[in-house]
Structure 1
């Protein structure tokens, strides 16, 4: 096998165009994939490889669909083999564990209903435990551009299938970085939505409370198209959440880490590539701030050095104990670490409480910001990973492990290569409600999209008729404001009912014996803020409102004199309950 810098990849949009103009048929595409999969057999991409025998029913199903009304009509995709495809064994990288599901995983079903064609189940680090792509009895998955290097894991086969042109996109999973590291090492986009945004029903759990289904694609636009099809609440999935991704927009600032660590035999090339990416970021006309990221590393250590590893053991321990010596040796070693006596209930709660501190800090820090980090600080030849499987794998999670623990969304995108056939990537992170920020910034970084001149915004604390579903919400929308989240004030206020028509609440600060009130936080362009403020009638106005978490934001307040003769409604706890 030789290195190659030019891969024949498949594009969702190009395929759709050729299908609609009758230049190509799905049958021809699938036949080509089956042929090329045989040619690439040494890459160890597949556990269930492409075969017309089982793909044929999906081709036949296309005849019942309108290609113009079905967004993924005829688009081939690969599925990591810890995600269920009805009638095809799910192995999770272990033949003895295998079972044949009767139903598709929810995300798989949604993609098939959108017209996509599953073409194979891909290799992975066994039980999704690893970030290197070498921990599989089905063979080490080779890097798509340089087969001597690791592919990254655990979603190894999924990434390489897309990079080698054997699928237009592929599903992976991500607990500690498995949907991002393989993207970076194979020059792909890896999109990891917020926890729960994509259902995980039909996925073999690694750490059920942290698992995400992810997508690998050749472009951001194609990854987001798949996201549109896969996203959505599933009432039969206990981890599912209703999380909408808003239209792409840019953050107020970009957070960077100082002096990131680089490792492995290509550390110098990776460092140089990082500096080039930072230089590019600094030219985007968005404020850049360097932050202390030590708490992110401390949070990340909880995943494998703390009691969270016991969650893996809770799901897979029974199988390991009943099947001694069946699992890949290094995988079994990692899983068994979850059975240590030190990981008792008390240690779990201590870790949960510490993690909650870190989570709160992260969501405040990235409320209107995006964090950029290297996706990986280096890579390794597969031979070096064999010699030192634990340390090399651990290094690969340096900039990924914190993400799901802190309930962040992220997207891994390619940056200029570190060297020929040596891809380098960055990852953008933000709070779970900010997927529009990471996609907007990724779009600007990758495509140089003509974006509107950067416009600063401000939070506005709203406590009355300007809240959602109330009569003056329209004023917020007219001034370009967007709802951010619900919040509470610090317990330093009273609320009165003003004798206006219609009645309005007045939030008044008190020095002692105050109350905390439920409010809403909205984000408004500064260019609109002045005009909005001018229209607020006395005795109301905009001042500084202290929130429950100690932060201070602009918001509606009321003159103290207005309390005279007004009804004190503090006991309600908020205007919605009056």
Structure 2
């Protein structure tokens, strides 16, 4: 087990402001990048990475970026480092989805990664994940388990566990994950950082291995909203080679903007659940008071359509979509599949095509319900997670408690919404709480602006 540290929210050592201040003082960008690479290598046994880029390759890429900058090229991410979830392709590195027997050898990197490297960022490694991106807790992976960056007794959140921890532990400046039902927000909540889940199709998913082509997107983990929004601005945009890319992606505002009104929606209190976690409930109330202090009016709305949409993600014929990617895998390599991952994929075989179409139709109806419910509000505000479990608690009841983690995240993608999760006041065991600011597709700048205001009011 890692040495336990006192839970405290802190910006990563290699965050944007730190690196840029050092560069302004004359620091060598190559040295900054290598320092991050060495920290990551020192943590190689902590279950955060599935693979690290060789140090000499990191140095070569950092030197090439520095040379481009000296030649006059504008590189906004010079001196910054990042890591990516191991379901995003990186040319020359295996993509394993945390199941080595299915390792792929991509010849081309995901478009989002190529854009970041073109902006001067240097990739440090690939992050661990709940196997096949099928969990929200971070324990559905081979040993050693990735542990919470603030308190190693607790789960890191999943499925983008390593991506969240790498940022919270200060090993990289930012990271990329994937998000089907909350995997870009739950690890952020568990580790006291920001998780930005863009509008579906705003960021090209070309080069990602899907859990759901209907619902997947590439989220960003960073120390604060400004950093996450900056990265979104660099990787967003229409990609004609990605059939899921939005044609209006280039017109969507990604930078934080003021809210169009002071009205915020929250769930009806009698419909909310915190699963016995009084500290989480109290933290949610305190976070809402912070919003009131900022001048916002909070109005309760019916949560039932959002809860129903959330159930569709993992309790309907939508789970059959996973078989597109993994049917042959779970047949040929059954013994290599984590039992909880297998339990999340295999039920898809029990649904009919008729049920799949019925589910898709219902998903469209619920998307319209969200549009109507949220039309008069700047955003919908919910706790990102209702509670957080220790690793031992999660392992004792992995299916039920995993689903608990998605109580307030599952509905976002099937309803075609965007979201930003930002850390709030302390909750259970001193770990931070988190609020998610959620709005309609294309309102990415609005939710970023709200989350930024909330985070800066701390």
Aligning the two structures, in what range does the TM-score lie when normalised by the shorter sequence?
A: over 0.9
Greater relative contact order: 1 or 2 (C-alpha under 8 angstroms, separation 6 or more)?
Answer: 2
Q: Is 1:245 the equivalent of 2:249?
A: no
Name which of 25, 44, 47 aligns with 2:47: 44
Q: Does 1:291 align with 2:301?
A: yes
**1:410 is aligned to 2:422:** no
Q: Does 1:124 align with 2:150?
A: no
What is residue 423 of structure 1 aligned with on the other side? 432
Instruction: Choose from 332, 338, 348 the match for 2:342.
Output: 332
Aligned to 2:369: 361
C-alpha separation in 1, matches of 2:41 and 2:82? 17
In the alignment, which residue of structure 1 is the partner of 2:447? 438
**Who is 2:14 aligned against?**
10
SS in 2 for 1:212: coil
Q: Conserved in 1, the CA contact under 8 Å of 2:387 and 2:428?
A: no
Aligned pairs for 1:178-327 within 5 A: 178-241=183-246, 242-243=248-249, 244-246=251-253, 248-252=257-261, 253-259=263-269, 260-263=272-275, 267-327=277-337
Structure-2 separation of matches of 1:240 and 1:57: 32
Could you tell me how far 1:129 is from its partner in structure 2? 0.6
Describe how 1:136-215 pairs up with structure 2 within 5 A: 136-215=141-220
- Distance in 1 (CA, whole Å) between partners of 2:273 and 2:54 is 44
What SS is found at the alignment partner of 2:381?
A: strand
Cα deviation digits, residues 254-299 of structure 1 (max 9, x gap)? 00112221126xx111111001011112222233210010111111
Unaligned runs of 5+ in 1: 450-578
Q: Which residue of structure 1 aligns with residue 64 of structure 2?
A: 61
1:48-91 C-alpha deviation (Å, 9 max, x unpaired) = 03530332331132134227721111210011111011111111
Question: Aligned equivalents of 1:50 and 1:32: distance in 2?
Answer: 14
Note the 1:32-111 alignment, pairs <5 A. Answer: 32-66=35-69, 69-111=74-116
The counterpart of 2:410, out of the listed 401, 406, 415, is 401
Aligned to 2:352: 344
Give the Cα separation in 2 of the matches to 1:54 and 1:88.
12
In the alignment, which residue of structure 2 is the partner of 1:134?
Answer: 139
Q: Is the 8 A contact 1:111 1:229 kept in 2?
A: yes
| TM-score of the two chains, using structure 1 as the length reference | 0.74
Task: Measure, in 2, the Cα distance between the counterparts of 1:146 and 1:223.
Answer: 24
Contact 1:132–1:393, Cα closer than 8 Å, also in 2: yes
Cα gap change, 1:60 to 1:396, in 2 (>3 Å):
same
| Offset of residue 387 of structure 1 | 1.5
In 2, distance between residues paired with 1:14 and 1:164? 14
The answer (yes or no) to whether the contact 2:115–2:235 under 8 Å persists in 1 is yes
Cα distance between partner residues in 2 of 1:392 and 1:419: 16
The 10-residue stretch of structure 1 (109-118 or 356-365) with the greater mean CA deviation from structure 2: 356-365
Could you tell me how far apart the structure 2 residues matched to 1:2 and 1:61 are? 38
Comparing 97-106 with 43-52, greater Cα deviation is found at 43-52
Kept after mapping to 2: 8 A contact 1:251/1:368:
no
CA distance in 1, matches of 2:67, 2:375: 45
Whole-angstrom distance in 2 between the partners of 1:96 and 1:53:
27
Q: Is the 8 A contact 2:34 2:59 kept in 1?
A: no
Displacement of 1:38 in angstroms is 4.2
Equivalents in 1 of 2:44, 2:387: separation in Å? 26
In structure 1, distance between residues paired with 2:31 and 2:376: 47
Give 1:456's aligned residue: none
Secondary structure in 1 matching 2:195: strand
Q: Provide structure 2 residue ranges, at least 5 long, that are not aligned to the other structure.
A: none
- Structure with the higher strand share, 1 or 2: 1
Q: Provide the TM-score with structure 2 as the length reference.
A: 0.93
Specify which structure has the higher proportion of helix. Answer: 2
d(CA) in 2 for partners of 1:302, 1:417: 31
Alpha-carbon shift at residue 138 of structure 1 (Å): 4.5
Residues 130-174 of structure 1: per-residue CA shift (max 9 Å, x gap) = 000011114321000000100000000011000111000000110
Larger radius of gyration: 1
Change over 3 Å in CA distance of 1:138–1:55 after alignment to 2: farther
| SS of the residue 2:317 aligns to | coil
State the partner residue of 1:470. none
Q: Between Structure 1 and Structure 2, how many residues are aligned?
A: 444
Q: 1:436 to 1:59 in 2, by over 3 A?
A: closer
- Please state whether the residue corresponding to 1:213 is helix, strand or coil: coil
